[in-house]
Structure 1
Amino acid sequence: MTTGRSFVRQYLSNKPHKWGFKVFTRAGNSGIMYDIEIYKGRETVEARSLGLVGDAFMRLLRSLKHTRHKIFFNNWFSIVDLVVHLKEIGYDCAGTVCQNRLSGCQLMEEKELKRFDQGHVDWRVEKSTEVCLVRWYDNKAVTLVSNYVAVEPKDTCRRWGSSEKDRNRKDCERKVEIERTAVIKEYKYMSGVDLADMLIELYRSNLKTRKWYMRIFYYFLDSAVVNGWLIYRRHCWLIYRRHCWQSNEKPMPLLKFKTSIACSLGYSDTSRRRPGRPLSLEAEDVRHDGYNNFPEFGKDQKRCRICQRKTKILCSKCLGIALCLVPERNCFLSYHRR
Structure 2
Amino acid sequence: CLLIVCLWMKPKSAKEIPVWKAALPEADALKLPIQYFRDFFDTELLNSIVEQSNLYCTQNNPNCALKLDRNELEQFIGTVIYMSVLHLPRSRMYWSNACRLPHVADVMPRDRWEEIKHNIHFNDNMAPNNNDRLFKIRPLIDALLPKFQALPQDQMLCVDEQMMHFKGKSSLKQYIPKKPHKWGYKIFVLCDTKGLVHYFDIFSGKTDPAPGAPDIGASGNIVLKLAQVIPGALNHLLYFDNWFSSLQLFVTLANSGIPALGTVQQNRLQGCSFSADGEMKKKGGGTFEEKQTVVDNEEIRAVKWFDNRGVIVASTFASAQPVSTVERWDRKLKKKIDVQCPSIISLYNKFMGGVDAFDALVAYYRIHIRSKKYYLRFFFHFVDMVIANCWLLYRLDCESLNIPKKKQRDLLSFRTSVAQALCMQGKDLSKKKRGRPAKAIPPQEVRGDAVGHWPVVESTRQRCKLPNCTEQTVFRCSKCNVHLCLNKNNNCFREFHE
Cα RMSD, aligned residues only: 2.3
Mapped contact 1:200–1:226 kept (Cα < 8 A): yes
Q: How many angstroms apart in 2 are the aligned matches of 1:200 and 1:115?
A: 43
Q: Deviations over 1:100-146 (max 9, x none)?
A: 32224101111111112222111211134411111011222121011
2:332 pairs with 1:164? yes
| TM-aligned CA deviation for residue 274 of structure 1 | 6.4
> 1:45 is matched by which residue type in structure 2?
D
Q: How many angstroms apart in 2 are the aligned matches of 1:206 and 1:91?
A: 38
Q: 3-state SS of the aligned residue for 2:353?
A: helix
Against the structure 1 CA distance between its residues 84 and 275, is the aligned structure 2 distance closer, same or farther, given a 3 Å change threshold?
same
| TM-aligned CA deviation for residue 264 of structure 1 | 0.9
Structure 1 length as normaliser, TM-score?
A: 0.72
> What is the aligned residue count?
264
Q: 3-state SS of the aligned residue for 2:283?
A: coil
Q: Deviations over 1:224-255 (max 9, x none)?
A: 111111111122122132xx37xxx4312211
Q: How many angstroms apart in 2 are the aligned matches of 1:219 and 1:93?
A: 29
| TM-aligned CA deviation for residue 23 of structure 1 | 0.7
Q: How many angstroms apart in 2 are the aligned matches of 1:277 and 1:261?
A: 29
| TM-aligned CA deviation for residue 35 of structure 1 | 0.5
Mapped contact 2:293–2:299 kept (Cα < 8 A): yes
Aligned partner (choices 235, 251, 254) of residue 411 of structure 2: 254
Q: How many angstroms apart in 2 are the aligned matches of 1:40 and 1:123?
A: 38
Q: How many angstroms apart in 2 are the aligned matches of 1:144 and 1:274?
A: 64
Against the structure 1 CA distance between its residues 277 and 61, is the aligned structure 2 distance closer, same or farther, given a 3 Å change threshold?
farther
Aligned partner (choices 224, 245, 251) of residue 78 of structure 1: 245
How much identity, in percent, do the aligned residues show? 31
Aligned partner (choices 171, 195, 199) of residue 361 of structure 2: 199
Give the aligned partner of residue 227 of structure 2: 61
* Structure 2 unmatched ranges of 5 or more: 1-164, 436-498
Give the aligned partner of residue 123 of structure 1: 290
Question: Where in structure 2 are the equivalents of 1:19-168 lying within 5 Å?
Answer: 19-42=183-206, 45=208, 49-67=215-233, 68-128=235-295, 129-156=298-325, 158-165=326-333, 168=334
Mapped contact 1:4–1:212 kept (Cα < 8 A): no
2:177 pairs with 1:8? no
Mapped contact 1:4–1:211 kept (Cα < 8 A): no
Against the structure 1 CA distance between its residues 164 and 55, is the aligned structure 2 distance closer, same or farther, given a 3 Å change threshold?
same
Q: How many angstroms apart in 1 are the aligned matches of 2:182 and 2:389?
A: 26
Mapped contact 1:3–1:210 kept (Cα < 8 A): no
Mapped contact 1:236–1:251 kept (Cα < 8 A): yes
| TM-aligned CA deviation for residue 98 of structure 1 | 2.2
Against the structure 1 CA distance between its residues 221 and 74, is the aligned structure 2 distance closer, same or farther, given a 3 Å change threshold?
same
Give the aligned partner of residue 228 of structure 1: 390
Aligned partner (choices 347, 365, 370) of residue 208 of structure 1: 370
More RCO (CA 8 Å, sep 6+): 2
Q: How many angstroms apart in 2 are the aligned matches of 1:155 and 1:40?
A: 42
Q: How many angstroms apart in 2 are the aligned matches of 1:146 and 1:30?
A: 22
Mapped contact 2:266–2:273 kept (Cα < 8 A): no
- Highest CA radius of gyration, 1 or 2? 2
